[in-house]
Copies of this chain bind each other. A is one copy, B any other.
């Protein structure tokens, strides 16, 4: 069985998840190189998985054996890396957000198009079995007309200060997932009203917001509401509800283990703490051929932009 040869650029929390998945949990792919600006991080992972490593992306771009790259480096590097990888003829999987603004994002898309390579943005929820199953059933008409969509995306606690400094606003860094999800599920957005608040003292000190409610109106007239928090406290949560004229679907999954603990007068369950606990299947599936290789997935993200 031929395997697509891939490299991972950027070995932060999510980059390491991608590298491990490519190393042994995804069929049809072969991890051949890992890159991180911190040489010791790249070296350790390369040694553990028996692949070449480097502290500079050039090593990957110059390697003719690499067919595609997974970019999980900080957001400010995305557009340049996508463009360089495209110019080198590599297919590209890039973590979200592709860029901080629409013009730069379009530049990246144009670079991929000009080079004739595939470009996929890491909207993993598209590959999460729960959402995928919901969308399949929505597409069959089982819900009737969509009337109201509600989705929640909350982190347990804020990311590190240096991440916040380079990740862009809550809307660019977090809500971007929800914008993709709601357009995927309910169609194009025609109206947006956004409200934000800075309630966590650390985030307020950075001049950012940590809590947001975004109301949208869809082209079919339905309403949608997105709520986000960087500091939900109790854990990570991503849950979606779509109310239709004939049925309603809710997606949830928050338990770490399917255990229930009963102590005097109380029953409790453990809650997921971050996205890696919530989405193990999605992070594998989004990198599996034919996704990247075949251009499936969310390559049409900017089509409507």
Contacts and interface: CB of A to CB of B under 8 A. Distances in A.
Nearest to A50: B1
A208 to B, nearest CB: 14
A271 B267 contact: yes
Nearest to A247: B263
Interface residues of A, number: 74
Nearest to A157: B264
A168 interface: no
Interface in A15-40: 23-28
A148 interface: yes
A222 B251 contact: no
Copies of this chain, tallied across the complex? 4
B243 A229 contact: yes
Interface string A99-112: 00000000000000
A269 interface: yes
Interface of A is mostly: mixed
A91 B134 CA distance: 44
B246 A233 contact: yes
Contact of A134 (B50, B247, B251, B259): B259
A150 to B, nearest CB: 6
A215 B217 contact: no
A140 interface: no
Interface in A196-252: 196-200, 211-213, 215, 217, 221-223, 225, 227, 229, 231-235, 243-252
Contacts of A199: 145, 147, 221-222, 245
A177 interface: no
Contacts of A257: 129-130, 133
A223 B229 CA distance: 11
B234 A221 contact: no
Given A234-B262, A234-B263, A265-B271, 20 more contacts: A24-B24, A24-B27, A25-B25, A148-B211, A148-B227, A156-B265, A193-B215, A195-B215, A197-B222, A197-B223, A215-B215, A232-B248, A234-B243, A234-B267, A250-B260, A251-B258, A252-B258, A265-B273, A266-B269, A267-B268
Interface of A: 1, 23-28, 48-50, 129-130, 133-134, 137, 144-145, 147-148, 150, 154, 156, 193, 195-200, 211-213, 215, 217, 221-223, 225, 227, 229, 231-235, 243-254, 256-271, 273
18 contacts: A24-B24, A24-B27, A130-B257, A145-B199, A147-B199, A147-B231, A148-B229, A197-B221, A199-B221, A211-B223, A215-B215, A232-B248, A234-B248, A247-B261, A249-B261, A252-B258, A253-B258, A265-B270
